[in-house]
Chains A and B, each alone.
Chain A
Amino acid sequence: MDPYFIVFFIMALGAAIFMITAKDALPSALGLLTVFIALSALYLHLSAPLVAIFQVSIYAGAILVLIVFVIMLLTVPSERFQLFQRNMSYRIMGAVLGALMTALLAIGLKGVKDIIYKREIPEGFGHPHLFGDFLFRDYLLHFEVASVLLLVALIGAIYLSKKKA
Chain B
Amino acid sequence: MEAWGVALIKVVFIWAWTLIIATLMTWVERRGSAMIQDRLGPNVCGPFGILQPLADGIKLFTKEDIVPEKAKKILFALGPIMFALPAFSAYAVIPFGDKIVIGGKEIILQVADVNIGFLYIMAIGAMSVYGIVVGGWGSNNKFSILGGLRSTAQLISYEVPFGLALLSVVIIYGTFSLREIVLHQQGTFLGFLPNWGIFKQPLGFILFIVTAYCEANRVPFDLPEAESEIVAGYHTEYGSMRLGLYLFGEYVNMYTLSALMVTLYFGGWHIPYIDMSKFLGPVAYGIASFLVFFLKTCFFLWLFVWVRWTVPRFRYDQVMSLGWKSLIPLALLNLFITAFLVQLTI
Residues on A lying within 8 angstroms of B by beta carbon are 24, 26-27, 30, 33, 49-50, 53-54, 56-57, 60-62, 65-66, 68-69, 72-73, 76-78, 127-128
Do the beta carbons of A61 and B149 come within 8 Å of each other? no
| Distance in angstroms between the alpha carbons of A98 and B125 in the assembled complex | 35
Do the beta carbons of B123 and A72 come within 8 Å of each other? no
Do the beta carbons of A62 and B148 come within 8 Å of each other? no
Nearest CB of chain B from residue A133's CB, rounded to whole Å = 13
Do the beta carbons of B156 and A62 come within 8 Å of each other? yes
| Distance in angstroms between the alpha carbons of A53 and B126 in the assembled complex | 12
Nearest CB of chain A from residue B238's CB, rounded to whole Å = 16
Do the beta carbons of B156 and A77 come within 8 Å of each other? no
| B78 to chain A: closest residue by CB | A30
Which 4 A/B pairs are nearest by Cβ-Cβ distance?
A61-B126, A57-B123, A69-B152, A56-B123
Known: A33-B130, A61-B159, A68-B152. A26 touches B75 (CB 8 A): yes
Give the residues in chain A near B72, CB-CB below 8 Å: 24, 77
| B146 to chain A: closest residue by CB | A72
8 A–B contacts, CB within 8 A, in A order: A24-B72, A50-B116, A57-B119, A65-B155, A68-B152, A69-B152, A127-B115, A128-B115
Q: Which of B114, B129, B137 contacts A77 (CB 8 A)?
A: B137
Nearest CB of chain B from residue A154's CB, rounded to whole Å = 14
Do the beta carbons of B145 and A72 come within 8 Å of each other? yes
Give the residues in chain A near B176, CB-CB below 8 Å: 128
Give the residues in chain B near A69, CB-CB below 8 Å: 149, 152-153, 156
Nearest CB of chain B from residue A142's CB, rounded to whole Å = 22
| Distance in angstroms between the alpha carbons of A65 and B129 in the assembled complex | 8
Do the beta carbons of B126 and A65 come within 8 Å of each other? yes
Q: A56-B127, A65-B126, A77-B140 are in contact. List 11 more A-B contacts (CB 8 A).
A: A30-B134, A50-B116, A53-B116, A61-B122, A62-B156, A69-B153, A69-B156, A77-B72, A77-B137, A77-B145, A128-B116
| B163 to chain A: closest residue by CB | A57
Do the beta carbons of B145 and A53 come within 8 Å of each other? no
Q: Indicate if B133 sits at the interface (CB-CB under 8 A).
A: yes
Q: Indicate if B120 sits at the interface (CB-CB under 8 A).
A: yes
Give the residues in chain A near B122, CB-CB below 8 Å: 57, 61
Encode B283-294 as 1/0 by CB contact (under 8 A) with A: 000000000000
Nearest CB of chain B from residue A113's CB, rounded to whole Å = 31
Nearest CB of chain B from residue A6's CB, rounded to whole Å = 24
Kindly name the residue among A30, A60, A73 whose own CB sees the greatest number of chain B CB atoms within 10 A. Answer: A30
Give the residues in chain B near A66, CB-CB below 8 Å: 152, 156
Do the beta carbons of A26 and B145 come within 8 Å of each other? no
Give the residues in chain B near A72, CB-CB below 8 Å: 133, 136-137, 145, 148-149, 152
